[in-house]
């Protein structure tokens, strides 16, 4: 590491470039596997993979679209002590009226859909903002930054600011926790359940219960506090002394999915017809990563129940999809775009994925995403050669033994023609794999490095003198 103000050498890379061991290593790395023409033909040989392009124009469209995206940023909170850090998370939700959108889309004045005009149609924009402690930052009375981080997370979930009707985020978390046996109703008391003390100097395996309205309970072994939101386990990678950008990213990923459920569950309990008229487009796959990944199972069960209730009530299923814009799977299809015909849809099965997209490892003994995904990835190439990777909500309540075969049967996805119609209606040339609702959600959630990040640096340092 250089001294403060010291410049790096302009020729120090020569030794690396001439090192024979490094050259040998680089030459030994194999090329990325690519499917043959026959591999592709095998994928799309069935007629049903293309038939939706013949029927989607007559499909029932959603009346409303809800899109959600999040971002996070870690700041150096103290100019004099740059090791002190904070994390900011922002989640943007955009609600779009499809009929009013059609009024602009059919207007001859606009050759392309103008996002500025679309922005005027947004009936509601909700931006949820959170601040979390980082290294060397703790609130008064707390024993460490680690404790402050966990306590702050609990306050977020209990905050009146994010309340819908009588439901706080903590209430929605309780409903999901019930489904995976991380909570229980006990004598009319709502208790969260932990199997291990979250405090690092303890980690005792035991049964801990925290009532939903309690601030905390005391571990009988280490005498430290245990909070209800410790059930999420997102605190585990947090460090008191270093960077926590990865931790904030995991918290953001989890919050995106929990906040979405928070909204959909409120609609489900108050207006089932409205829920059936809704399409949800999430930025990214329907998957939860890291320590909170177990909640993907709870979401899968909850959304299956919602869809079945809509159908039993005589309505359509709500559309819930994720638009995958980056990553290995998107790179793969971009690099083979000239080898695929237009008007093609196919699910990415595990065999194809492990052969051409993801590394071969022990996870092949299970189906892809067994511990993280609650949706199936589909590749779509439209008539104008636009390409999309779309993650569609699994039409199942749980993952059966033969799930790796069942999840790719497109016939299980009853509203796929409506899904395709929604994707094509909102596609845009602004960005690769672009969708208007996702672009708008990203616009209201993203924190730019400059000036957004810089202003958060200034805000934080104002209070850390």
Q: Chain-wide mean pLDDT for the chain?
A: 83
What is the DSSP secondary-structure string of 54-113? HHGGGSPPPSEEEEEEEEEEEEE--SS-TT-EEEEEEEEEEEEEHHHHHHHHT-TT-SS-
pLDDT at 283 over 50: yes
Determine the pLDDT at residue 47: 46
Q: What letter does residue 3 receive in the DSSP assignment? A: P
Classify residue 299: in a domain, yes or no.
yes
pLDDT interval class at 450 (50, 70, 90): very low
By percentage, how much of the chain surpasses pLDDT 90? 44
pLDDT interval class at 452 (50, 70, 90): very low
Classify residue 360: in a domain, yes or no.
yes
pLDDT at 428 over 70: no
Residue pair 421/47 in contact (Cβ under 8 Å)? The answer is: no
Task: Tell me phi and psi for residue 211, to 5 degrees.
Answer: -65, 145
In whole angstroms, give the CA distance from residue 157 to residue 227: 11
The count of C-alpha atoms lying within 13 angstroms of the C-alpha of 314, restricted to the half-sphere facing its C-beta, is 0
Closest residue by Cα to residue 70 from 352, 389, 465, 444: 444
CA distances in angstroms from 338 to 378, 385, 386, 456, listed in the order given: 18, 9, 11, 44
How buried is 406 (Cβ within 10 angstroms: 0-12 exposed, 13-18 middle, 19+ buried)? middle
Lowest mean pLDDT among 299-303, 340-344, 390-394: 340-344
CA distances in angstroms from 258 to 78, 321, 388, listed in the order given: 32, 15, 25
Classify residue 450: in a domain, yes or no.
no
Q: What letter does residue 451 receive in the DSSP assignment? A: I
Residue pair 431/390 in contact (Cβ under 8 Å)? The answer is: no
Strongest mean pLDDT among 13-27, 44-58, 196-210, 448-462? 196-210
The mean pLDDT value for 285-294 works out to: 94
Closest residue by Cα to residue 459 from 129, 163, 65: 129
Residue pair 294/78 in contact (Cβ under 8 Å)? The answer is: no
SS (H, E, C) 210-237: EECCCCCEECCCCCCEECHHHHHCCCCC
Strongest mean pLDDT among 304-313, 332-341, 399-408? 304-313
Classify residue 24: in a domain, yes or no.
no
pLDDT interval class at 366 (50, 70, 90): confident
In whole angstroms, give the CA distance from residue 377 to residue 408: 9
Determine the pLDDT at residue 27: 80
pTM of the model: 0.86
In whole angstroms, give the CA distance from residue 400 to residue 396: 9
Q: Which residue has the higher pLDDT, 39 or 257?
A: 257
Residue pair 234/146 in contact (Cβ under 8 Å)? The answer is: no
Give the model confidence (pLDDT) of 21-76 as tens digits. Answer: 878 887 887 777 777 767 766 665 554 567 888 888 888 888 988 888 888 888 88
How buried is 15 (Cβ within 10 angstroms: 0-12 exposed, 13-18 middle, 19+ buried)? exposed
| Chain centroid to CA 229 | 19
| Chain centroid to CA 53 | 28
Residue 104: CATH number of its domain: 3.30.420
What is the domain range of residue 53?
Answer: 49-74+91-127+245-444
pLDDT at 191 over 80: yes
pLDDT at 438 over 70: no
Classify residue 387: in a domain, yes or no.
yes
The mean pLDDT value for 114-138 works out to: 74
pLDDT interval class at 430 (50, 70, 90): very low
Lowest mean pLDDT among 74-83, 221-230, 388-397, 405-414: 74-83
pLDDT at 429 over 50: no
Residue pair 284/327 in contact (Cβ under 8 Å)? The answer is: no
By percentage, how much of the chain surpasses pLDDT 70? 80
Residues linked to residue 72 through DSSP beta bridges, in sequence order: 89
Classify residue 67: in a domain, yes or no.
yes
For β-strands 189-196 and 225-226, DSSP reports them as unpaired
Classify residue 195: in a domain, yes or no.
no
What is the edge-to-edge ordering of all strands in the sheet holding 189-196?
183-186, 189-196, 205-211
In whole angstroms, give the CA distance from residue 187 to residue 192: 14
Number of domains in the chain: 1
Closest residue by Cα to residue 341 from 389, 383, 377: 383
pLDDT interval class at 125 (50, 70, 90): low
Classify residue 203: in a domain, yes or no.
no
pLDDT interval class at 129 (50, 70, 90): confident
For β-strands 375-381 and 344-347, DSSP reports them as antiparallel
Q: The tokens of 222 are what?
A: 């280490």
CA distance between the termini of the chain: 27
Determine the pLDDT at residue 124: 55
Residue pair 387/355 in contact (Cβ under 8 Å)? The answer is: no
């Amino acid at each position: 590491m250089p001294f403060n103000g010291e410049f790096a050498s302009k020729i120090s890379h020569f030794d690396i470039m001439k090192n024979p061991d490094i050259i040998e290593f680089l030459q030994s790395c194999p090329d990325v596997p690519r499917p043959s023409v026959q591999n592709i033909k095998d994928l799309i040989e069935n007629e049903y993979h293309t038939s939706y392009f013949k029927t989607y124009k007559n499909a029932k469209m959603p009346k409303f679209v809800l899109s959600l995206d999040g971002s996070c940023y870690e700041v150096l909170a103290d100019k004099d002590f740059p090791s002190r850090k904070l994390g900011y998370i922002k989640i943007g939700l955009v609600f779009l009226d499809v009929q009013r959108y059609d009024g602009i889309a059919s207007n001859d004045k606009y050759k392309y859909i103008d996002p500025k005009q679309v922005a005027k149609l947004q009936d509601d924009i909700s931006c949820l903002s959170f601040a979390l402690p980082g290294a060397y930052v703790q609130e008064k009375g707390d024993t460490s930054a680690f404790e402050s981080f966990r306590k702050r997370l609990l306050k977020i979930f209990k905050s009146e600011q994010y309340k819908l009707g009588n439901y706080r985020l903590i209430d929605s978390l309780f409903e999901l926790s019930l489904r995976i046996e991380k909570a229980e109703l006990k004598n009319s008391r709502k208790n969260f359940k932990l199997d291990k003390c979250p405090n690092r100097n303890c980690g005792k395996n035991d049964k801990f219960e925290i009532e939903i309205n309690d601030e905390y309970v005391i571990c009988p072994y280490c005498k430290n506090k245990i909070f209800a939101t410790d059930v999420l386990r997102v605190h585990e990678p947090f460090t008191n002394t270093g960077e926590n950008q990865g931790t904030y990213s995991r918290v953001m990923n989890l919050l995106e999915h929990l906040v979405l459920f928070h909204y959909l569950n409120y609609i489900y309990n108050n207006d089932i017809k409205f829920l059936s008229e809704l399409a949800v487009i999430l930025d990214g796959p329907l998957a939860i990563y890291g320590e909170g990944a177990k909640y993907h199972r709870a979401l899968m069960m909850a959304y299956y129940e919602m869809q079945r209730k809509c159908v039993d009530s005589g309505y359509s299923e709500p559309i819930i999809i994720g638009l995958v814009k980056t990553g290995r799977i998107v790179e793969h299809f971009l690099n083979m775009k000239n080898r695929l015909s237009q008007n093609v849809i196919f699910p990415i099965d595990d065999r194809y994925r492990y052969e051409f997209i993801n590394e071969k490892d022990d996870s092949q003994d299970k189906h892809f995403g067994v511990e993280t995904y609650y949706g199936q990835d589909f590749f779509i190439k439209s008539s104008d050669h636009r390409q999309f990777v779309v993650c569609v909500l699994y039409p199942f309540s749980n993952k059966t033994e033969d799930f790796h075969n069942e999840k790719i049967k497109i016939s299980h996805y009853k509203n796929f023609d409506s899904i395709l119609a929604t994707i094509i209606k909102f596609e845009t040339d602004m960005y690769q794999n672009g969708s208007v609702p996702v672009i708008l959600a990203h616009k209201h959630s993203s924190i730019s490095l400059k000036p957004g990040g810089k202003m958060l640096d200034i805000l934080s340092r104002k209070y850390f003198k």
